[in-house]
Amino acid sequence: MAALAVAAVGCSTTTSDSPAPQAQPKSGGTLTFATDADPGCLDPHQSPTAASQLVTRGVVDSLVAQDPKTLELKPWLAESWTSAPDATSFTFTLRTGVTFSDGAPFDAEAVKANFDRIVNPATKSLLAASLLAGYDGTTVADPRTVTVKFKAPNASFPQAASTAFLGMQSPKAFEAGPEAVCRKPVGSGPFVAAERQPQAGITLSKRADYNWGPETAQQKGAPYLDQVVINIVPENGVRMGSLRTNQVDAVANVPPKEVDGVKAAGFEVLSKAQPGIAYTLNLNAAREPLSDVKVRQAIAKAIDTEALVDTLYQGKYPRATSVLTGATPGYASILGTSQFDTGAAERLLDEAGWKKQDDGTRAKNGKPLSVEWTFITPAREQRDLLAQVVQQQLKAVGVDVKLAPMAMGEAIAKTARGELQMGDISFVRADGDVLRTVLTAPRGGAPAVVAPEVPGLLSAAAATVDDSVRDENYAKVQRSLIENATAIPVYDPTYLLGVGKAVHGIVFDPQGLPSFHEAWVSR
Amino acid sequence: MRRAGFVLRRLASAVPVLLAVLTLSFVMMQLVPGDPVQTMLSGAGPAPTPEQEQALRHQLGLDRPLHEQYFGFLADAVRGDLGRSVQTGQPVVSAIAAVAPASAELALFALVLSLVFGVGIAVLGRVTTGPLRSLCHGVPVVFMSTPGYWVALVLIEVFSFRLTLFPATGDKGFAALVLPAVTLALPAVGVIAQVLGTSLAAVDAEAFVVTARAKGAGRWRVLLRHALRNASIPTITLVGTTVGNLLAAAVIAETVFARPGLGRLTLQAITNHDIPVLQGVVALLGVLYVVVNLLVDLCYVLVDPRVTADRIRD
């Protein structure tokens, strides 16, 4: 497991007037944060994006908290919970005295209202509903006791319940309809979101009477900051310049090539490897010409992931060694050394009957070797550049790749229809069960499963709380995806956060996103 | 009286133009690949059933014959209902209304800057001599041919990051308006300065200018009283088209300076294949062009007594 870069943010030691890293936290003030991606809908039940979670994590609390260091589950809004032996039902005992910021009480009925809403098709959940796959209803025993039931085992449900996606929102706020919740989610969290105007920034204000922080947090009460203002600044140069000139206090997604310069200027760059599915290219074995395992293996061997990652990410993002990232429970190192080997790739393609033509392309029975890559846009982390390099690397062995940029919604629909040839995906979740999420529901660009034993391995893992069995099954699934060359892992997504000199106490949550609950500013 | 009639006639002639714009945007929606129903239904859960798809199709009226859809669309548009965003479910009209003020503010300020500096440079180019004159003749070409994206980044680097005079991003207050407005105005300053400069040079040789000079009128008096007014007609036409270009350029300015506005709304709608929002923006642009053209025509009448309302009816 990768070391987690979780620490109170110290100051640069180059300036003499900055306080010591262990200085006493100071209350008050506003932290301005510049992020690169517009979060769009701010309802975690609807939106699947990390950009949205960045905002909503501080607004909604969850039943359970996951420790960012040990990844153990700890109480939060639930004081305790038990799982049925077959992992089909979970009973939570709730904390009392918790209220939502609109005054509505948090109780068993509220938990039921939240889960019922997530699976309701009218909510149009893009992710949360898949974490509740097989949901069979919630029963309220008394105001403090609630049982969530599933039709099939779902051992990782408590972990799923620790994410903001399954966070608790005020049932009273649901009445205004899903679009209203997108603009203003109402939770019981340490921050309260103001109604968001389209495309504008987002303002989070301190909830002064907050005192139910999770066991995993240093700070259980109200946040130090009065306000967090989140601005959307897509242009990398402008975002980084704004940090350097102290126009903002912290910036999201420092471009890897800027990390050293920002550090040299006396700013801190916090790095956190994200758990979940690595950035992976996927080949659909159900579509010609990828139905031939030799063609898929040739493509996997023709891509020089090491060179890609070094050039594009300058060593700031690690090369992926499996479908799961190194920071994910259940990760197994499959590709200790890179599988890049153009000679072997050419041989495999020759064996598969794709003969090299005079112009360097390959063809079989007069048909050119060509693959369409449904590329999800807007692309982050320079994935558009990455795609072009992959295109060139594959061209070198005679595989023609056509890039077909597509919005996420359409890509999901295309994957669901089975029309995808080649796709790309990454997915954040601190549990190996994320494999089930992307392999069994039609995520956009998700890998196709060829080995018949994979679904069985995943549901067996979901049915046991025995970590050794789960790890073993997840390792088999990772190996199967890579050996069948339906998945080609490229890099482990890593959050690079630039922090100004006056900012302290930003920590990463287990999903690898910055949290402002314990942050403070010295000025 | 004649002018009132002129305005009314021009407004009436705007109706077929708007109808054409709406029709074009309807056709555009039919031709764009991608199915709005699937975009709206796509989620992480199980793939939508054909029944769900059919229900939504019916709810959106997409199962009706094309001509019924067309007339329904027109009727809704006349009532000010341009449908809902596929992405957010928000009514298109309110999505546009929410960001339009920010765009209007930016465009108006950019327009003022373009006029002040465009006219200023053209006039200076006439009344000065030597290097300043050459500069006034050379600068417009530079302004016109500099890419907006680059200008925006340079302005931010110099005036925000180095001199810290203006904030680099945001939409709070007048200071935040300056750099994006300058970015937008620069090419327009170039065009206006060049066209007006050329017209002024042409007018300079006209008999009435020579007469005025012969009567002893000074350089400035000739320019301001006689030449400028006569030379301004082509520039007025130009300002009309500039308004449209400002919105196109706003896509870059709003992205780099992180401001909300119509440009970014359009860009977002394009990346998300949000056709109803795109339709709304296109319709708004249609209306804007009609209004701006009307204003331009009125300016002709005010500026040049030789042009009467009757003569520019077509």
**Residues A76 and A60: beta-carbon distance below 8 Å:** no
- Cα–Cα distances (Å) from B157 to A222, A242, A386, in that order, read 38, 10, 28
Asked whether the predicted pLDDT for residue B95 surpasses 80, the reply is: yes
**Residues B239 and B111: beta-carbon distance below 8 Å:** yes
The tokens for A291 are: 């139905």
Tens digit of pLDDT for each residue in A18-30? 344 557 899 999 9
Asked whether the predicted pLDDT for residue A9 surpasses 60, the reply is: no
Total Cβ atoms within 10 A of residue A314: 14
Following DSSP, what letter does each residue of B9-21 receive, concatenated? HHHHHHHHHHHHH
Q: With CA atoms as reference, report the closest residue to A304 among A415, A391, A432.
A: A391
Query: Hey, is the C-beta of A245 within 8 angstroms of any chain B C-beta?
Result: yes
How far apart CA A301 and CA A510 sit, in angstroms, is 33
Partner-chain contact A410 B39, CB within 8 Å: yes
Closest CB to A124 among B34, B43, B170: B43
How far apart CA B110 and CA B186 sit, in angstroms, is 9
Restricting to B residues 219-238, those with a Cβ less than 8 Å away from any Cβ of A are none
pLDDT at site B313 = 46
Please, which pLDDT band fits residue A10 given cuts at 50, 70 and 90? very low
**Residues A62 and A160: beta-carbon distance below 8 Å:** no
Report for A328-332, B72-76, B213-217: range of highest mean pLDDT: A328-332
- Say which range, A4-13, A86-95, A268-277, B243-252, has the weakest mean pLDDT: A4-13
Query: Hey, is the C-beta of B54 within 8 angstroms of any chain A C-beta?
Result: no
Q: With CA atoms as reference, report the closest residue to A415 among B56, B50, B43.
A: B43
- Chain A interface, mutation test: which of B84, B169, B265, most A Cβ atoms within 10 Å? B169
Cα A2 to chain centroid distance, Å, stands at: 16
Query: Hey, is the C-beta of B145 within 8 angstroms of any chain A C-beta?
Result: no
Phi and psi dihedrals of B36, rounded to 5? -60, -35
Average pLDDT, chain A: 89
Cα A272 to chain centroid distance, Å, stands at: 12
Partner-chain contact A199 B271, CB within 8 Å: no
Closest CB to B47 among A199, A410, A416: A416
The tokens for B74 are: 């027109």
Phi and psi dihedrals of B232, rounded to 5? -85, -15
B97: left (phi over 0), alpha (psi -120 to 50) or beta: alpha
Partner-chain contact B44 A198, CB within 8 Å: no
SS3 state of residue A279: strand
Bond prior to A378 in cis (omega within 30° of 0): yes
- Chain A interface, mutation test: which of B38, B39, B41, B42, most A Cβ atoms within 10 Å? B42
pLDDT at site B288 = 85
- Cα–Cα distances (Å) from B291 to B21, B286, B294, in that order, read 14, 9, 5
- Say which range, A110-119, A412-421, B137-146, has the weakest mean pLDDT: A412-421
Tens digit of pLDDT for each residue in A304-325? 999 999 999 998 999 999 999 9
The tokens for A39 are: 């979060």
Query: Mean pLDDT across the stretch A376-386?
Result: 85
How far apart CA B126 and CA B197 sit, in angstroms, is 7
Query: Mean pLDDT across the stretch A99-124?
Result: 94
SS3 state of residue A362: strand
pLDDT at site A81 = 96
pLDDT at site A437 = 83
**Residues B89 and A179: beta-carbon distance below 8 Å:** yes
Sort strands A227-232 and A30-35 into parallel, antiparallel or unpaired.
parallel
Average pLDDT, chain B: 83
Query: Mean pLDDT across the stretch B172-181?
Result: 90
A5, containing H or E segment = none
The tokens for B242 are: 């500039």
pLDDT at site A6 = 36
Please, which pLDDT band fits residue B44 given cuts at 50, 70 and 90? very low
**Residues A422 and A288: beta-carbon distance below 8 Å:** no
Q: Chain A residue with minimal CA distance to B90?
A: A179
pLDDT at site A259 = 93
Q: Chain A residue with minimal CA distance to B155?
A: A238
Query: Hey, is the C-beta of A265 within 8 angstroms of any chain B C-beta?
Result: no
Please, which pLDDT band fits residue B49 given cuts at 50, 70 and 90? low
Across A365-417, the runs of DSSP E, i.e. the strands, are: 367-368, 370-377, 400-407
Query: Hey, is the C-beta of A37 within 8 angstroms of any chain B C-beta?
Result: no
Please report the number of interchain residue pairs, chain A to chain B, with beta-carbon separation below 8 angstroms: 124
* Eight-state DSSP code of residue A164: G
pLDDT at site A108 = 97
Closest CB to B167 among A178, A247, A408: A247
Query: Mean pLDDT across the stretch A143-161?
Result: 95
Please, which pLDDT band fits residue B264 given cuts at 50, 70 and 90? confident
Q: Give me the interface pTM, i.e. the ipTM.
A: 0.76
Asked whether the predicted pLDDT for residue A441 surpasses 70, the reply is: no
How far apart CA A47 and CA A52 sit, in angstroms, is 7
**Residues A48 and A131: beta-carbon distance below 8 Å:** no
How many Å lie between the alpha carbon of B181 and the closest alpha carbon of chain A? Answer: 17
Query: Mean pLDDT across the stretch A128-135?
Result: 88
Q: With CA atoms as reference, report the closest residue to B96 among B277, B247, B291, B286.
A: B277
Partner-chain contact A197 B260, CB within 8 Å: yes
Query: Hey, is the C-beta of B37 within 8 angstroms of any chain A C-beta?
Result: no
How far apart CA B186 and CA B113 sit, in angstroms, is 9
* Eight-state DSSP code of residue B271: H
User: Which residue bears the tokens 């706020």?
Assistant: A173
Asked whether the predicted pLDDT for residue A1 surpasses 70, the reply is: no
How far apart CA A231 and CA A32 sit, in angstroms, is 7
pLDDT at site B282 = 84
Q: Chain A residue with minimal CA distance to B265?
A: A199
* Greatest CA separation for chain B: 87
Q: Chain A residue with minimal CA distance to B99?
A: A198
* Eight-state DSSP code of residue A252: S
Query: Mean pLDDT across the stretch A212-240?
Result: 92
Amino acid at A34: A
How many Å lie between the alpha carbon of B182 and the closest alpha carbon of chain A? Answer: 17
Partner-chain contact A199 B99, CB within 8 Å: yes
Q: Which residues pair with A494 in a beta bridge?
A: A273
Q: Which residues pair with A355 in a beta bridge?
A: A363
Please, which pLDDT band fits residue A44 given cuts at 50, 70 and 90? very high
Q: Which residues pair with A270 in a beta bridge?
A: A497
pLDDT at site A11 = 37
How many Å lie between the alpha carbon of A488 and the closest alpha carbon of chain B? Answer: 22
* Nearby residues of A24 by Cβ (< 8 Å), 6 or more positions away: none
Phi and psi dihedrals of B291, rounded to 5? -65, -45
* Eight-state DSSP code of residue A148: E
How many Å lie between the alpha carbon of A126 and the closest alpha carbon of chain B? Answer: 4
**Contacting residues of B for A48, CB less than 8 Å apart:** 44
Partner-chain contact A245 B264, CB within 8 Å: no
Please, which pLDDT band fits residue B219 given cuts at 50, 70 and 90? confident
**Contacting residues of B for A441, CB less than 8 Å apart:** 44-46
Partner-chain contact B160 A178, CB within 8 Å: no
Closest CB to A238 among B46, B156, B272: B156
Query: Hey, is the C-beta of A182 within 8 angstroms of any chain B C-beta?
Result: yes
**Residues A121 and A183: beta-carbon distance below 8 Å:** no
Query: Mean pLDDT across the stretch B32-57?
Result: 65
Distance between terminal CA atoms of chain A?
37
Half-sphere exposure of B114 (CA within 13 A, CB side): 33
Tens digit of pLDDT for each residue in B271-308? 777 788 888 888 888 888 888 888 888 888 787 777 66
How far apart CA B135 and CA A492 sit, in angstroms, is 54
Higher local confidence (pLDDT), A77 or B309: A77
* Nearby residues of A68 by Cβ (< 8 Å), 6 or more positions away: A4, A6, A216, A507, A508, A509, A510
Restricting to A residues 401-440, those with a Cβ less than 8 Å away from any Cβ of B are 407-410, 412-413, 416-417, 437
Asked whether the predicted pLDDT for residue A207 surpasses 90, the reply is: yes
Asked whether the predicted pLDDT for residue B314 surpasses 50, the reply is: no
Half-sphere exposure of A415 (CA within 13 A, CB side): 34
The tokens for B139 are: 């600068």
pLDDT at site B33 = 67
Provide, rounded to the nearest whole percent, the portion of chain B with pLDDT above 90: 16
Query: Mean pLDDT across the stretch B177-188?
Result: 93
Tens digit of pLDDT for each residue in A464-500? 888 899 999 999 999 999 999 999 999 999 999 999 9
